[in-house]
Chains A and B, each alone.
Chain A
């Protein structure tokens, strides 16, 4: 089955700088890669997703890149703000059914 590795487990950046979180997956059949943001005590919130027919997708300060050959995808957050502080999870799945999540990255934005 699918296995997703996520790095780093913690990330601390200065406000205004960029943050990058990387994930690798094992199942070449996976074709859907969402990213979720989870604030303390709250539900995971979808922030961006990408399907395997696309190499890059951007939404304002957030972008995701996908390299199917290397089986890795990354989340890029530019111009970070204090409200970006949260735990971020990547996931992978063939067909958007059974989401397999990474272990999470705790992102802290320092003012």
Chain B
């Protein structure tokens, strides 16, 4: 198992609400990437944070935002939740921007 942890494990929200997901990177890793995995699909890149700065963003609307803290842990915030936001949200940490990514267990979000 990797040293990447995520919280919470499961979450149920209603449409229009806001949610914050958290990720603790593996010790020594300065980069965190976030992915959305819909049921039966491959993960889709949301954005990456390197040393507290956003370092690339996928095709997701601005209501998906993030943050990385000085200890390199990270948050994913989603505003104005939609039904289609229901998915498994994965974070991955890496030693540096171009190194191998190791995934956390994910947070399963259900939007009703």
**Which A residues are closer than 8 A to B by beta carbons?**
6, 32, 34, 36, 42-46, 49, 89, 91, 95-104
Contact = CB atoms under 8 A, between A and B. Distances in A.
B24 interface: no
Contacts of B58: 98
21 contacts: A32-B98, A34-B100, A34-B101, A36-B103, A43-B105, A44-B90, A46-B100, A49-B100, A89-B42, A89-B43, A91-B42, A95-B97, A96-B94, A97-B55, A97-B97, A98-B33, A98-B45, A99-B35, A99-B43, A99-B45, A104-B42
Nearest to B104: A43
A103 B105 contact: no
Nearest to A44: B103
Interface in B59-112: 90, 92, 94, 97-106
B48 interface: yes
B44 interface: yes
Contacts of A103: 41-42
B97 to A, nearest CB: 6
Contacts of A32: 98
Contacts of B43: 44, 89, 99, 101
A13 to B, nearest CB: 21
Given A98-B33, A103-B41, 17 more contacts: A34-B100, A42-B105, A43-B2, A43-B104, A43-B105, A43-B106, A44-B90, A46-B100, A49-B100, A89-B42, A96-B94, A96-B98, A96-B99, A97-B98, A98-B45, A99-B101, A101-B43
A91 B44 CA distance: 11
B111 to A, nearest CB: 19
Contacts of A45: 103
A43 B103 contact: yes
A7 B51 CA distance: 36
Given A43-B106, A44-B90, A100 B100 contact: no
A86 to B, nearest CB: 14
